Amino acid sequence: MATAKQFVHEGAYVFITGRRDPELASAVKEIGRDITVSRATLHARRLDRLFAQIQREKGRLDVLFANAGVARYAPSASQELYDSILTST
C-alpha cells in the first residue's frame, strides 16, 4: 500500500490486484485517486486479462511491483506449497 501511495503521489496511475474485495475497496478509499483495483490471483489467464485491461485503459505498463505477504514455513518449497500460497482464492 505504501508503494502504491508513493507512486500516486509522484504522478503515477496504479493498478492494484488482490484476492479480497474489502481490502481492494479500502485501497481505493485510502489512495483516493489514480487507482484501479482488480480482483485477481496469479493464475496466468487472470494476469492476461489484467494486462489486457491495462493496455486498453492506459496503453502501456511502465512499472510492475510484485509484493506478497503470505508466509508458510516448510523445510523446502514443493509445488503444493507454491500453489497454496500464490494461487489460492
In tens, the pLDDT along 45-84 reads 777 888 899 999 999 888 888 776 666 677 777 888 777 7
For residue 72, what are the domain limits? Answer: 2-86
In tens, the pLDDT along 29-56 reads 999 999 999 887 666 677 788 889 999 9
Residue 31's pLDDT is 96
- pTM here is 0.66
User: What CATH number corresponds to the domain at position 30?
Assistant: 3.40.50.720
Where does 32-78 have alpha helices with state H? 44-58
Please count the structural domains in the chain: 1
61 CB contacts (<8 Å, ≥6 apart)? 51, 54, 55
